[in-house]
Amino acid sequence: MKNLLNKEIKLAASPLSWLFLVFGLMALIPGYPILVCAFFICFGVFQSFQSGRENNDILYTVLLPVRKTDTVKAKYAFTSLIQMLGLVVAAAATLLRMLLLPDAAPYAANPMMNANQAFLAYMLLIFAAFNVIFLGGFFKTAYKFGKPFVLFIIVSFVMAGVAEVLHHIPGLTFLNATAPLTDPVMWGILGAAAVIYLIATLLSCKVAMKRFERVDM
């Protein structure tokens, strides 16, 4: 598995997958739907799938002395790696805002989403959606990725829209707090999202392995 992940990084990955991690810094932008950074990070992963298809990556991999299902696991591992790095970048920007700039005027009077634990939780949910919709959909054929990616675009933008609406609903305004560092509910939301991400990714990987097993190359 280590060798396959190494192959993903050194041969299959598009440089854009790494470059788009910078979008995690969008968490610093006030008055902007910062959750789209999760979409852009996934878009970076998508570029690697595109580059992989252009370079016959899947065929190369299944011809190696590895189990066919390991090909799927390696793609999930690479995707999760990028997503976690993207989350770290966004979390660093979020912490910067929460610790050093909680009272900065653009954030205190921000009509759009503030960067806090809920924002990071939403990011994880969008990542989970990518893994279920795009990765799961791709491995039905291991070739066609247009439809699953379009579906992911729609779902991720709906999710970002809903997340932007939530904190305007009376009773849920705490979701937009600028520095809820000691709020257990906010940490609970982040924890729950992490659990959902983990379960959704593992289940999706299992389904994708079964789907790919049936694919004729």
CA–CA separation, 214 vs 116, rounded Å? 42
User: Whole-number minimum distance, CB 52 to another protein, in Å?
Assistant: 9
Q: Does 11 bind another protein (CB under 8 A)?
A: yes
Q: Does 103 bind another protein (CB under 8 A)?
A: no
Of 1, 3, 165, 202, the residue at the interface with another protein (CB under 8 A) is: 3
Task: Tell which residue, 51, 50, 8, 59, has the closest CA to residue 217.
Answer: 59
- Between helix 36-54 and helix 68-100 the angle, nearest 10°, is 150
Q: Which is nearer to another protein, 68 or 206 (CB)?
A: 68
114-153: contacts with another protein (CB under 8 A):
none
64-93: contacts with another protein (CB under 8 A):
64-68
How many angstroms separate the Cα of 154 from the Cα of each of 71, 121, 145, 151, 161? 27, 19, 15, 5, 11
Which tokens hold the place of 179? 């520095």
User: Whole-number minimum distance, CB 60 to another protein, in Å?
Assistant: 4
CA–CA separation, 50 vs 154, rounded Å? 19
Report which secondary-structure segment, H or E, holds 107: helix 105-108
Q: Does 7 bind another protein (CB under 8 A)?
A: yes
User: Whole-number minimum distance, CB 6 to another protein, in Å?
Assistant: 6
196-215: contacts with another protein (CB under 8 A):
214
CA–CA separation, 147 vs 1, rounded Å? 29
Of 1, 63, 195, 199, the residue at the interface with another protein (CB under 8 A) is: 63
Q: Does 18 bind another protein (CB under 8 A)?
A: no
Q: Which is nearer to another protein, 103 or 216 (CB)?
A: 216
User: Whole-number minimum distance, CB 203 to another protein, in Å?
Assistant: 24
CA–CA separation, 138 vs 29, rounded Å? 33
Task: Say if residues 63 and 123 touch (Cβ distance below 8 Å).
Answer: no
29-58: contacts with another protein (CB under 8 A):
54-57
Residues engaged in binding another protein (CB under 8 A): 3, 6-7, 10-12, 54-57, 59-60, 62-68, 214, 216-217
